[in-house]
Amino acid sequence: MEINIQKRVLEANETEADKNRKFFKDKNVFVVNMMSSPGSGKTETLCKTLVKLMPDIRVGVIVGDICTTNDADRLEVTGAKVTQINTDQFGGDCHLAANLIIDSAKQLGCDDLDLLIVENIGNLVCPAEFDIGEDARAVVLSVTEGEDKPLKYPLMFRVADVAILNKIDLLPYLDFDAKLVVDNMKQVHPHLPVFEISAKTEEGFEPWLEWLKIKVFEKTGR
Ligand code: MG
Ligand code: ZN
């Protein structure tokens, strides 16, 4: 019974995701769904990414959180167009479903955007199950989280198109094996591109930015 309900929820979501995909195709905007556990540094990674991409690439952001507009406020400082979804008013869902995206995307007005980034709610579990009509999925993991996370949350790393290992500036102070976590990611998803960065010191950003720019160009021709 429970499995059937879950299946129907995901099927309904897929229909909405297809509508989003069509909308994003019409608007010729490349959409990235950015996911992670809470506290991995998604927002800081995004802030630095936006500053480095703009104005060459015109970026908008939809931020998902259960409560607060803290992340949207931080992102707005970069000059990007930002809108916040709080799921609190819809029952406090711990993921963004496809039907929540379209109104925010319309509100942002995707006509003058090349790239739309959706900062999903911090959670390594169900965001991986909900297609939002995105072109690419990015997962952020930080070195303070433990090397076995890709093995514990394999779906997230399986559906990801790219992974970011953040906070590498902390490696000298931790017993964290960066090679092991990358090996674990590749065990789950063999050809997953992994970029090791520090959003704080801005180390390692170039390959990640290059990857993003190529993807935006491949879809939009810009
Ligand atoms: Mg955040
Ligand atoms: Zn959820």
Q: How far is the CA of 128 from the centre of ligand 2 (A)?
A: 9
Q: Which ligand is nearest to the CA of 87?
A: 2
| Helix extents (H) in 98-167 | 101-108, 149-152, 154-159
Q: Which ligand is nearest to the CA of 41?
A: 1
pLDDT digits (tens, 9 = 90+) for 156-189: 999 999 999 999 999 999 999 999 999 999 999 9
- pLDDT score for 87: 96
pLDDT digits (tens, 9 = 90+) for 43-91: 999 999 999 999 999 999 999 999 999 999 999 999 999 999 999 988 8
Q: How far is the CA of 7 from the centre of ligand 1 (A)?
A: 29
The phi and psi torsions of 198 (rounded to 5 degrees) equal -125, 110
Residue numbers of the domain that contains 87? 2-220
CB 58 within 8 A of CB 143: no
Name the domain count of the chain: 1
pLDDT digits (tens, 9 = 90+) for 98-144: 999 999 999 999 999 999 999 999 999 999 999 999 999 999 999 99
- pLDDT greater than 70 at residue 1: no
Q: How far is the CA of 93 from the centre of ligand 2 (A)?
A: 5
- pLDDT score for 3: 77
First to last CA, the chain: 48
Helix (H, G, I), strand (E, B) or coil at 8: helix
- pLDDT score for 171: 98
Q: How far is the CA of 20 from the centre of ligand 1 (A)?
A: 23
Domain with 82 in it: what CATH number?
3.40.50.300
Q: Which ligand is nearest to the CA of 82?
A: 1
Q: How far is the CA of 4 from the centre of ligand 1 (A)?
A: 32
